[in-house]
Structure 1
Amino acid sequence: MISEPELVGEEHYGAAELPGPRSGTEDLVSAEDAPAASRPARPAWLWALGGAVVASAVWAGGLYVYGSKAPDLGGYRASADLCKDAELKAVSFALGPREGEGYAWGNAHESVDDSGCSADMRPVGYEVPKDEDGVEMGGMPSVTVGYTLHKKTDPGPEFGGTVAARHNYFGSSTKLTRIDDLGEQAYIVRDSDSSGITLEVLDGQAVLTMSAHSDWDVDTGEPLADMAEIEPLLVEDMRALMLKLKS
């Protein structure tokens, strides 16, 4: 007759028992003791299971470290004063020297640093007309610079789409052109009336913009500056700014 299987506790029925810790005295064998029975070898599948558990733990730990690792900023730093970093030497040949220091602003956050600069450029010999009360009746050409350093997420997947969407919003009033050999991606957006031109650049975690605008002479109705040849000057000043922000 086949007897009923012996149960070893409810939790251990049918489970393999792993050897517990051994004390120092229980393993000592005296001369009168019978030879201790040899320890049964562990099944191969236990060793394989143990290796898989260790490998999984190492892999999961690697994923955690990788996922928590901050992105490489490519040497870019935050700007304390973008008007000082953006010297605008090339653009000044077309628009005139900078009027004063310009107006700089910035915001710092653990995930993103954002800064900007706005500067008026005075054409050589130009004076803004004033009315009889001495109030200026016009403006001057200007340059606006923007710089955003993304310290947590990659701006790359959205950069081209953002530029294109903004261009599509203005429709036929702007012209969009791709610029080669400047950062990872670069575009020129030009107003159809040639009064304004904007250079937008993606370089790793940094997104930079540089816009030049010409005001109009209130007496003649003509642009105060020739914007036709300003594109390479913007590119030159942008390269200089990118190098400065990595110094």
Structure 2
Amino acid sequence: MSTPPQPPQPADQPAQQPQQPAPQPFVPPQPTAYPYPHPQSPPAGAFHGQPTLVGGPGLAPSQPGNPYLQAPQYGPVPPVPPPGGGRGAGRAVLWAAAGAVLASAAWAAGVLLADGAGGGEADLRGYSAPSDLCSTADYSSFKDEYTGSDSSPTRTSLEDEALDQSNCSLSLKKSGSSYADAYLTIQLDLHKKTDPGPEFTAAWKNYGESHTGYDVDPVEGIGDEAYLVSQDTTNGSSTGSRYATLAVRDGWVTYTMTYSAYLSSYDRDKNPPALTDVTGWLKTDSKATLRQLRR
């Protein structure tokens, strides 16, 4: 039996190649309200074969992720268009340039603040810190209530290029008392290198939040700012304590006058004055003392 004829075969036809997916257009990262990269984000261009070098001529490459560690930019940053082009890519370049400029501005501002933080002249308002504050301070308002005198008050002083300080601690005695019925402490600080304002406000304005049971009231007419901190735990009994501090800041000068009295069952006949009287005396005597401490 003869073999049937076969159909002619096409001349060497190349094998059909598998269809390749259409190339996807490059989509640049979309701008956000925060122009700086996330600390854990890869550097720009890591997925598209671009080098990550930020800085002007002769400057070392920046560390990715933290704009404040980048070398400062001098002059405009030349845009480097990413592959793919397009209007969206242009926006990405503009946002990258804006982020670099903002980072450079933040770095420059930080340098200026660091250079100027404490470089100004101390605002001491003419105050001086005496070596013996006990003999200089005025506490005459307390002497009608506490007629006894302290023959050996404690006084200290410090003179340094950054801080001048005077301190006085004395006992207050009622008539016939052999021991102290209350205590008065006065302190003056002249801050010659740094402005104490922000820390003073934070400490005294918020004293009631960090110390339970104290009342804090701002006081007008003494220095730039003043706060009265007080506490009364007697509740009409013969035990407990009464405490009050007037803290004053005038320029770079801080001043405190503190009264404290402690009651016990054996001296119930010597009750301390009312707290409202004490706070009034602190205001009067602090004003007088601050006037005397100015040159």
TM-score range, shorter chain: 0.5 to 0.7
What's 1:175 paired with?
215
Q: TM-score, normalised by structure 1?
A: 0.63
Cα-to-partner distance string for 1:171-224 (whole Å, 9 max, x where unaligned): 2x2111111111111111101326111110011111000011113244254764
Aligned partner of 1:203 in structure 2 is 250
The verdict on how the C-alpha distance between 1:122 and 1:69 changes in structure 2, with shifts beyond 3 A counting, is: same
Deviations along 1:54-99, one digit per CA (max 9) or x if unpaired, are xxxxxxxxxx999745223211112211111113111222333431
Structure 2: gaps of 5 or more residues:
1-114, 234-240
Tell me if the contact between 1:214 and 1:224 (Cα under 8 Å) persists in the aligned partners. no
Partner of 1:103: 154
1:39-58 mapped onto 2 (5 Å cutoff): none
Could you tell me whether the CA contact under 8 Å between 2:133 and 2:167 is conserved in 1?
yes
Q: Take 1:109 and 1:244, find their aligned partners in 2: how far apart are those partners?
A: 22
Aligned position for 1:140:
181
Distance across 2 between alignment mates of 1:152 and 1:225: 40
What TM-score results when the alignment is normalised by the length of structure 2?
0.53
The alignment status of 1:150 with 2:182, answered yes or no, reads: no
Moved more, 77-86 or 88-97: 88-97
Helix, strand or coil at the partner of 1:120: strand
Aligned to 1:192: 232
Say which one has the larger Rg.
Answer: 2
Aligned length: 173
RMSD: 2.4
Give the match's secondary structure for 2:204: helix
Query: 1:232 deviation in Å?
Result: 1.3
| Higher RCO (C-alpha 8 Å, min separation 6) | 1
Q: Judging changes above 3 Å, is the alpha-carbon distance between structure 1 residues 235 and 101 closer, same or farther for their aligned structure 2 residues?
A: farther
1:160 is matched with: 201
Cα distance change, pair 67–204 in 1 and its aligned pair in 2 (3 A): closer
1:232 paired to 2:293: no
Distance in 2, Cα, partners of 1:170 & 1:227: 22
**Equivalent residue number for residue 10 of structure 2:** none
| Counterpart Cα distance in 2 of 1:78 and 1:127 | 32
CA contact (8 A) 1:189 1:198 kept: yes
Q: 1:201–1:207: 8 Å Cα contact kept in structure 2? A: yes
In the TM superposition, what is the alpha-carbon distance from 1:101 to its structure 2 partner? 4.5
Structure 1 pair 222–71 and aligned structure 2 pair: CA distance change class (3 A) = same
Q: What's the % identity of the aligned pairs?
A: 25
Give CA deviations for 1:99-120 in whole Å, capped at 9, x if unaligned. 1241101121101112211000
**1:125 CA drift (Å):** 2.8
The answer to whether the 8 A contact 1:217-1:224 is kept is: no
Distance 1:178 1:147 in 2: 19
2:153 matches 1:112: no
What is the aligned partner in structure 2 of residue 122 from structure 1? 173
Correspondence for 1:40: none
State whether structure 2 residue 110 is matched by structure 1 residue 70: no
* Matched-pair contact (CA < 8 Å) for 1:103–1:118: yes
